[in-house]
Amino acid sequence: MLLVLNGPNLNRLGLREPGVYGTQTLEDLERLCEGWGAELGVTVTCRQSNYEGQLLEWIQDADEHGFTGIVLNPGALTHYSYALRDAIAGQPLPVVEVHISNVDAREEFRHKSVTAAVCKGKISGLGFLGYRLAMEALTEGGA
Ligand code: DQA
């Protein structure tokens, strides 16, 4: 059972900077993830919040709720949230960090991730496909 978490501003997918993030919506992304989960034989729960504390609580409780891995796009929190980093480090489940855009090809402040070092791996720049690849890594013993 996988938890797919999207952080701040990702509820605006489809409207927000479509040249960077594409024209598909968060709902499109979540339906895709559910479909990929069905293909991979795993149940998927998708959640999004603009609130750091809410994301922390979902991560903190994930193992207790029976999840086996987390796909996480932390949005801009990636670049500065030590609280998010600590929540990931304190959660024994594997977490794979995903970015839709290629953060290394963008502004300097996006090159740094304070969360990636406590994640099992990181995927960036492959659009929504990154979520699928993260789910594969979390269901095939890759993570
Ligand atoms: C993002 C990249 C972040 O730098 C940005 O703040 C986001 C989205 C991505 O998916 O490419 O909100 O995580």
Task: State the CATH number of the domain containing residue 59.
Answer: 3.40.50.9100
Which atom of ligand 1 approaches the CA of 99 most closely? 10
Q: What pLDDT was estimated at residue 47? A: 98
Packed helices 129-139 and 26-40: angle between N→C axes, nearest 10 degrees: 30
ipTM: 0.99
Q: Is the pLDDT assigned to residue 142 strictly greater than 60?
A: no
Nearest residue by C-alpha to atom 6 in ligand 1: 76
Residue with tokens 């670049």: 79
Domains of the chain: total: 1
Confidence of residue 140 (pLDDT cuts 50, 70, 90): confident
Residue 16 labeled ligand binder: no
* 99 touches ligand 1 (CB under 6 Å): yes
pLDDT digits (tens, 9 = 90+) for 12-29: 999 989 989 999 999 999
Which atom of ligand 1 approaches the CA of 76 most closely? 6
Mutational test site, ligand 1, from 99, 102, 129, 131, max ligand atoms within 8 Å of CB: 99
Q: What are the distances in angstroms from CA 117 to CA 20, 77, 86, 120, 129?
A: 25, 14, 11, 8, 22
H or E segment at 26? helix 26-40
- Which of the 8 DSSP states describes residue 8? T
Give the SS3 label for residue 45. Answer: strand
Question: Which range marks the domain in which residue 20 is found?
Answer: 2-139
Contacts of 67 (CB under 8 A, 6+ apart): 1, 2, 3, 45, 93
* 75 touches ligand 1 (CB under 6 Å): yes
Residue 70 labeled ligand binder: no
Percentage with pLDDT > 90 across the chain: 95
State the pTM of this model.
Answer: 0.96
